[in-house]
Structure 1
Amino acid sequence: MDYDIFNGDADGLCALHMLRLHTPAQRTLITGVKRDIELLRHVPAAPGSDLLVLDISLDANAAGLQRLLDGGARVTWFDHHAADCAPQHPQLRLHCDGAPDVCTSILVDRQLNGRYRPWAVAAAFGDNLGAAAQALADSLDLDADRTGALAELGQTLNYNAYGESEADLHIAPAALYQALHAYADPFDFMQTALYRDLHAAYRADCARLQALQPHWQQHGNAVYLLPAAPWARRGSGVLANRLAAAAPQAAFAVVLTRSDGDYLISVRSGQPLARSACSLCQQFPSGGGRKAAAGINRLPAAELPRFLDRFSAYFAPDAARHHAA
C-alpha cells in the first residue's frame, strides 16, 4: 500500500496538493492536527510500499523512518524542520532546507518549477513567511487584491489545523485536502461554500483574540496565556503569527491550557539565526520545531514558572551571543 503523509496545516495541505496535481495518484492519507507530527507510527512496514512525507520533522519520526526503510519501503520527504537524524539510505529521497525563509511548499514549488505557484504563495503566507510569499506573488505579477486573497486563504487553512484533537477543528485535515484538491486554481476554491464558512469561523475566532493581554512581558518580548477552550485552541497559531508580524524583532510565546491542565506552547523568535526558537523548545521534553517557530507539545503545569524563566533569559537583549544557532 502507498501513503501520502502530511502535516494538516496550510503548508502540508498545499504541498501535497501541488504534487498530486502534477502526479495524480489515489493513496492512503495520513495526517492530523498541526502538532500531531509523529505520523509514521501509523504506517505498517511492507516491502515495496511507497511513502510521500510532507512538512513533518524527520527527527521526530527517525525511528519510524528507519523501521519502514528496513522493511523495504521507498520514501520521498519534503520538509523544512530539523533533519539531523536523516539516515543515508538508497530508498530515501530527502528534500530538506531549514532556512528561516523556506517552507515545505516552497521546496515543492522549486521541484515543480513554479507550475502551481499560487498554492505556494498561500502556503507561505499561512506559514507566516510574508516576505517569501510576497516574492513568489510578485513573480506571478499578482495585484494586491489577489495577493491578499491568497494570504487569507493560507491563513485560513493554517488556522484550521490548530487544536488539541480533530474534534476542535471545523473540518478534519484529510477532508479539507480532498475538498480543495478538486480545484487546480485556488481562486476557484475560494468561491466554495466550504471555504466561505471556514473563513467566517476564522474571523470569528480572531475577533476573540483581540481582548487578550500578555501574561508576562519584558524588553518587547511577551508570553500570552490562553484558556482551555476550543476557540483558544483553534486561534493559538493565529495569535502567535500575528504577534510575530506586528513586532518582527521580538520573541513571543503563546501558552495554551490543555484540557488536562498541562500546557501546549508555541514560540516565535524575531532573531531566529541568533536565538533559535527550536533550541529553546528542545530544552523541554516534546519540544522542537524550526529556528523561527517552534513549540512544546506538553509542558506540565508545574513547569510553567521554569519555562518563563528560561524564555526570559534566552531572549534577553544581552543573551544573543550565547544562543547562536
Structure 2
Amino acid sequence: MAIIDVFNGDADGICALTQIRNAQPADSVLVTGVKRDIQLLDKIDPQAGDKITVLDISLDKNRQGLIKALDAGAEVFYSDHHFAGDIPQSDRLTAIINTAPDVCTSILVNKHLNGQFVEWAITGAFGDNLKNSAQALAKPLNLSEQQLSSLENLGIYINYNGYGSNLEDLHFTPEDLYRQVSPFVSPFDFINEGRESFEKLENGYQSDMASAANLQAEFSNASVAAYILPDAPWARRVSGVYSNDLANGTPGRAHAVLTVKANGNYLISVRAPLENKVGADELCRSFATGGGRAAAAGVNDLPADQLSEFIRRFSEFYG
C-alpha cells in the first residue's frame, strides 16, 4: 500500500496539499509538474489499497487515470475547481469539486479541514488571483495590512514559480518548493525561516515582471486585449502572473497572453474579465489542447496558423 499525493505545481495545488499534510502527516509519494502538466494520474501505477490524494487538476483531463485507480482498488480523495464533467460513482472516491469562479482548491480543502490552516488557504487563493475570496477568508483573523500583503505576495510568488515549459524553466521544482513550505503550520513561519528561498522567488518575480513591463498589445479593443511574449524562459515563467496583472489592471476587459513555444506554436493564458468571470474554460476547450476554469483558462499548444482564428474567436466571445 502506498500513499500518493498528486497535485498541480502552482500555488493552489501546493497550498492545498500543505494544509492536508499538516492535518494528516504522511510520508507520501509526490507526483506533480509544471503548471500546465495536469494529466498527472497517468504517471502513477495504482494498486489495491493505495491511498491517493488528487488536488487542483481537472477530473475531466484525468478521467481514465481516476477510473484505473478506482478499478485497481485504490481509495481516492479528489478536490478541484476546474471543469470535471461526469464524476465517477464509487464508494472508494471522495470528490469535493466546485467550479464556481470565486473558489479554488485551497478554499475547498480549508472548508474540508474546518479552517485548521486557513492562512495557507488564503495564500493559495491569492496565488489563484482570487483576491476577494482571500480577503474574505482573512477577515476574521484581523491581520494587519502588512501581514495580508505578505500572504498575497507569497501566493503570487509560488504561483509564478509553477509556470514554464519544463522544470528547467523554474526557480524550484514544484516538488522541491512543496517540501520547503509544507513543514510550516503557517506561511508566516516559512517567510521568516525560509528567507533565502522566499527572496529567490521574490527577486525572480520582480526581474521577470520588469522584462514584461513595456510589452504592447498585439490586438486590443474595449472588450479584449491579446499580448504575445517571446520564446524565452522569463516569458514562460511570467505568463500566468502577467495575465493576472492585466486582469487586475483592467477588470472590465478579457485578456489573453500568448507565449511563443520552441515549435513555433503558442502557449496561451486567458483571463475572463474580473467583472464577469465566465467563459474562459469554454473558449479554451474549443481548441484541441485547451482547458481550465471559468475565470482563468488556457491552451497548451495552439498551432501557429490558428493565431488569427484564436484572436477572432476570443474577441467575439467577450465582445
**Band the TM-score falls in, shorter-chain normalisation:** over 0.9
**Residues 163-202 of structure 1: matches in 2 within 5 Å?**
163-191=164-192, 192-202=195-205
Task: Give 1:266 deviation, angstroms.
Answer: 0.6
- Residues 273, 291 of structure 1: 8 Å contact kept: no
In structure 2, distance between residues paired with 1:98 and 1:22: 24
In structure 2, distance between residues paired with 1:164 and 1:88: 34
SS in 2 for 1:52: strand
Counterpart residue number, 1:299: 302
Name the % identity: 47
- Residues 252, 275 of structure 2: 8 Å contact kept: no
In structure 2, distance between residues paired with 1:243 and 1:147: 21
Counterpart residue number, 1:115: 116
Task: Give 1:273 deviation, angstroms.
Answer: 6.2
- Residues 101, 278 of structure 2: 8 Å contact kept: no
Instruction: Name the Cα RMSD after superposition.
Output: 1.2
Could you report, residue by residue, the CA deviation over 1:179-225 in whole angstroms, capped at 9, with x for unpaired residues? 11122121121122111111111111111111111000012410000
Structure 1: gaps of 5 or more residues: 317-325
In structure 2, distance between residues paired with 1:198 and 1:219: 34
Cα 1:232–1:274 change in 2 (3 A) is closer
Segment drifting more, 179-188 vs 210-219: 179-188
Counterpart residue number, 2:140: 139
Counterpart residue number, 1:60: 61
**Residues 1-325 of structure 1: matches in 2 within 5 Å?**
1-191=2-192, 192-270=195-273, 275-316=278-319
In structure 1, distance between residues paired with 2:176 and 2:227: 31
In structure 1, distance between residues paired with 2:272 and 2:98: 18
In structure 2, distance between residues paired with 1:78 and 1:274: 21
In structure 2, distance between residues paired with 1:254 and 1:11: 21
Segment drifting more, 98-107 vs 131-140: 131-140
In structure 1, distance between residues paired with 2:277 and 2:169: 35
Segment drifting more, 83-92 vs 97-106: 83-92
Q: TM-score, normalised by structure 1?
A: 0.95
Amino acid at match of 1:143: S
Structure 2: gaps of 5 or more residues: none
Amino acid at match of 1:179: Q
In structure 2, distance between residues paired with 1:229 and 1:148: 29
Task: Give 1:272 deviation, angstroms.
Answer: 8.0
Q: TM-score, normalised by structure 2?
A: 0.97
Task: Give 1:133 deviation, angstroms.
Answer: 0.6
In structure 1, distance between residues paired with 2:22 and 2:245: 31
Moved >4 Å (runs of 4+):
271-275
Amino acid at match of 2:203: A
In structure 2, distance between residues paired with 1:301 and 1:213: 20
In structure 2, distance between residues paired with 1:72 and 1:26: 20
